[in-house]
Structures are given as structure tokens and as C-alpha cells.
Structure 1
């Protein structure tokens, strides 16, 4: 499957603070560095801006782009990494030509995404009206107040509304970028890319933006090891009691700590792990659906189909046809 073109929409108006370097960098790292052994061709990345910046970049940085806003209209995916601080903190206006370009790109069928405060640009363009959206939790109150037609959720890492996606700040922006790769090229490619970047392969969008530090922790920090163990034994009957005993905690303490760390109940976390395992097996093996259900811990083929269709959006067979990479060879499971 061809991943298509990605346009990073930057606002470099010299009257405003330059775009946030971090969000732009993570998007560039995901989409701009070719990975021919994972997918060839890779994404065609373009940096597009309103104007060329002055020589004095913010904190010593400046961004010079080859492309203008007209390239947004022809892109398959448009990402707004952030907006200048003055737009969020002082209510400064975004350049009208920038908003018009976002609307034109959406009308042309582009997938539109924002990282962190980039959601303010999408909201100004009316692309979030009637939709769920998120941003960094420090800015979601301002987003909701300024754009009452947007259903703002400050508790999640990112939100996928199909053609429009938004994320919280910092590392959540990387989660969203990897989520887009997962949608376009499958779980195996996204996981391998994440491994190269030394980050988690898949943090679901519904995971909490931050950990509740009021939840007591243990000295040996046994939550991480038990989660790793569970991910390696998904084909076994795992319950909350089993995981709690392995972690050396009471069931209640384990439930609270896992929920604080992931924003999910233990059973929801297990389901996500099993679905991710099923995705990998569908992509990298020719195992029958029945065996994939067994190896992933989802049970019968009917149960696998039900959960997969509900949470991934397509049937296991359709997913394999779209992302399968080794149809003639069985991989070790």
C-alpha cells in the first residue's frame, strides 16, 4: 500500500513565535526518514509554511521551507504540529491564508491531523465542529472555551475521528504519528519503526495523558515486569487475579496501579494487547483465523472476528488482505 504524501503545515509569520520545534521534529522523524526495508516507497514529506521566517528563529532556531500553502491541497495527509504561543495564550489570530488552506485541503479529501496546540488551527478552520478532539491538558480548557462547538476531551492521548485526528502534547504527538503509520502500513511496520525509535510500539489513544502519582507504588516496581510477562503469554487464560499474584499485589492494588499507568482497566489493557498480537500474526503469518484466535488469546474464530471488527474496524480477513506480508510462509509464534 502506498502511504502517500504528508504535508507539515507550519506557521512562520515573523509577527508570531515560530512553530514548536519538538512537535515538528517528531513528525519529521516518523514521516521524513525513508525506511525502504519496512515499506518502499515511504511517505513523501513536505514542509509547508505561510512565509519564510526571519534569520532570528525562536531560541536560536529557524525553519526554512521549500513549499508554500498550495501544497496542502494536494497532500494526502496534512499535519499541524502546533501553533504559535500567542494564539493560545493571548488569542492572537492565525493567518487567514493558513486557515483557508486547511479548509481547502479538507475539502479536497486530505486527512487532517494536529499535534498539541495544532488543534486550535483545526478548530479555527471549523474542522472540529461537532467532533471529539484533544490537545495538551494545559490548553484544553482554553480550546473548549474558545470553540464551544468542539467536544474537547482532556483525558486521552489522541483521538481518531477518521479524516480528522488530534493529539495531546509532547510524546502523545509521537503516538499519533505512529498510529497513522499503523493505519496506513499495518501494525508490523509501525512496531518495527517504534522499535528503531526506542519508543512504545502502541499506546492506545484512550490511554490517560498523565499518571496519577497519588496512587502508591512498591519499592520493586513490579508492574512493568508483569505487563511484559503478560504480553508474552497472551495465549494463556489470564485474569486480573493471576496478574496481581504475579506482581505480588492485591487485586485491588494491581487494578488501581494499572489504571493509573494506562488509563485502562486490566481487562481492557489485555484486550488491546491481544488485538495487537492478532494484527501482527495476520500480517506476518498465513495461520488460519482459528489458530490466530488461540495464539492471541481471543479464543474462537468467531470471537476474534467480533472483537477485531468492533475495535479495528475491519474483519481479520480484510485486514490480512490489506497488510499481509508473508502469505506463503508460517512464522514462528
Structure 2
């Protein structure tokens, strides 16, 4: 039974703790076999919201399959961070060195940094703390404006509610995206937001429970600027092109091409909103020129699953590139 240990430091944010704790608790209720523990450097831990929490001061025995999570705390800067006992830093470092996974939510990244776990790794934190994290740990690479970052079993997330996304991601890695979708549905939250916030707009198409479709969406999400032939997506998902088109449409209401185009348009809108020209935004997201982007932006509604946006979207020879 995998164990999830939350290291509770003074002034922690309740949702930084409660979000991921609810994910793993719900996973346990659904039979995925998690055991949760809450440890602190003292028994009574004050929270930022005024509700005290009782923690155990003795760490449980940890295995390589276990997870340690450090929720964040209130403080305008890391200089206001609570003191971290050397024994806690040592336990974080030793668990990772032994092959375990260590995660943080929001300001909890500072605890990982003090344990030496951010050196030479990519990481993130709340957008208001990113500059300071980069100055405090110059050997780390701070990835800005994303929900979470995974680097060599060190998982860091942005502020507050993003801890839910982090936890659902870890469940999906261990048990498959269908399990994460089942837990998210039970919690009435988005099935799973991707680490890169640029794709947040496409989340409405993630409320299904199909492992195959989630995996194809993961592939498209990570490579949406590239040509993605339907046959290649089908091969990667272990089904035929015809089957993939059918189940993808049943799960999302659109074709894989339409889904990729949606990601491209949303990313282009993000770039245009930050001052990019339509032409440069179009090329940045994978269009050969701005004509297709202008056509897609001009549509007021998402086209139906049968709409190809310029090609036979459902055919085996289709290439997911406009």
C-alpha cells in the first residue's frame, strides 16, 4: 500500500494540504490503496486560515513507492518561511536519494530547495514567488506560468488549487488516466489539467473516463505544434485509426484533428494577447501561415466532430497539421 506523507509546517494553507489529501483519500476510498500520514515538527500546527491541525511528530517508515508532499504556507516572501528543522530536510533528501518521490505545493518549493532537491532541476511555484525562488536557488531552473513541473521524482506545483492537479497527475502516472478521471469526477473537479497552463482552455474535453483517449490527448497536448498523422496516433494508442476516430468522438465530441486545432488556437490567442502578431502566433503554434488561424478564430462555435478544418479529419491518411 503506497503511503503519502504530508510534512506540515506552521501557517500552511489549508487548500495546499486539503486538495492533494482529498485526491489520495478519494483514491483510497475507490480501492487504489493509499495510506495518508501527517507529520510535523510539533504536534499542533497553526494554519494560515486559523484552524489548527494536529500532526504526528514521528515519521513513518518510507519505501521507494511512497510520496512525501510539502504544502505551502502564507508569507509574502520566502524570507517569511517557517523554520525547517535539519532533520526534516534530511528526511526529504534521503527519501529522494533512496528512490522516492518528493512534491511541493506553492511555497513548499522552498522546503525542497533547502533540502537541496531543486539544484540542477526544473521547478515551479506560485507566480508571485517565482522570481524570488530563482534568486534563492540559482542552480535551479524555475519554469514560469505553469501548473506543475516533474523532474527526476521532484514534483513542484503552483499555488493553492494546483496541488489537486499535481496529485491527479501522480495518480494517473501510477494507475492510468482513467483512474484520475474517476477520482476527479468523484471530487467534481477537472479530470486533469496539464502542467502547462497554455492548454487550460481545452479542459472541457477531459471529463471522460477513456484511458485510450486520455493518452492520445496527452500525446497531442505535448506535441500539438507538430504534424500528427492519425495513423501514428492510432498506433501509439494501440487501436485502429477508425476505432480511434470513433472513441475519440464519443469521449470528446470532436476528432483528434479538431482537438489539436483547438489547442493551437488557444495557444495562439495567448500569444496574440501578449503582443504577438497573428502571423507570428500562427507559425509558433504550427500553422504554415496565418490563413488557417484566421479562419478558425473567425468561427464563433467549436465545429462539430465531422468538421475537418481543411482536410479529411477522420481518414487514416489525415495529418494533424493545418
TM-score range, shorter chain: 0.5 to 0.7
- Three-state SS of the structure 1 residue aligned to 2:4 is strand
1:53 aligns with 2:44: yes
Q: Deviations over 1:20-58 (max 9, x none)?
A: 111111121011235554xx242111111111126x665
- Three-state SS of the structure 2 residue aligned to 1:129 is coil
Quote the residue 1:289 is aligned against: none
CA distance in 2: counterparts of 1:69 and 1:174, whole angstroms: 24
CA distance in 2: counterparts of 1:86 and 1:237, whole angstroms: 42
- Three-state SS of the structure 2 residue aligned to 1:117 is helix
Quote the residue 1:27 is aligned against: 20
Unpaired runs of 5+ residues, structure 1, are 12-16, 212-222, 245-250, 269-295, 305-333
When the two chains are superposed, the root-mean-square deviation of aligned CA atoms in Å is 4.2
CA distance in 2: counterparts of 1:104 and 1:297, whole angstroms: 51
CA distance in 1: counterparts of 2:108 and 2:315, whole angstroms: 38
Q: Relative to structure 1, is the Cα distance of residues 154 and 226 closer, same or farther in structure 2, using a 3 angstrom cutoff?
A: closer
- Three-state SS of the structure 1 residue aligned to 2:6 is strand
Q: Normalising by the residue count of structure 1, what TM-score does the alignment of the two structures yield? A: 0.61
Q: Relative to structure 1, is the Cα distance of residues 174 and 57 closer, same or farther in structure 2, using a 3 angstrom cutoff?
A: closer
Q: How many residues in Structure 1 have an aligned counterpart in Structure 2?
A: 245
Quote the residue 1:234 is aligned against: 255
CA distance in 2: counterparts of 1:110 and 1:208, whole angstroms: 29
CA distance in 1: counterparts of 2:143 and 2:25, whole angstroms: 30
Q: Is the 8 A contact 2:125 2:156 kept in 1?
A: yes
Quote the residue 2:3 is aligned against: 5
1:123 to 113, 125, 128: 113
CA distance in 2: counterparts of 1:105 and 1:170, whole angstroms: 24
- Three-state SS of the structure 2 residue aligned to 1:114 is strand
Quote the residue 1:216 is aligned against: none
Deviation, 1:72, is 5.4
Quote the residue 1:103 is aligned against: 93
Q: Deviations over 1:66-120 (max 9, x none)?
A: 3523545777111111246387143664222211111121122211111111111
CA distance in 2: counterparts of 1:225 and 1:68, whole angstroms: 42
Q: Normalising by the residue count of structure 2, what TM-score does the alignment of the two structures yield? A: 0.63
- Three-state SS of the structure 1 residue aligned to 2:197 is coil
Quote the residue 2:212 is aligned against: none
Unpaired runs of 5+ residues, structure 2, are 208-248, 274-280, 287-312
1:188 aligns with 2:178: yes
CA distance in 2: counterparts of 1:239 and 1:73, whole angstroms: 40
Q: Is the 8 A contact 1:48 1:65 kept in 2?
A: yes
Q: Is the 8 A contact 1:175 1:203 kept in 2?
A: yes
- Three-state SS of the structure 1 residue aligned to 2:91 is helix
Quote the residue 2:230 is aligned against: none
CA distance in 1: counterparts of 2:73 and 2:204, whole angstroms: 39
1:143 aligns with 2:133: yes
- Three-state SS of the structure 2 residue aligned to 1:85 is coil
- Three-state SS of the structure 2 residue aligned to 1:166 is strand
CA distance in 1: counterparts of 2:86 and 2:116, whole angstroms: 13
Of 229-238 and 18-27, more deviation after overlay is shown by 229-238
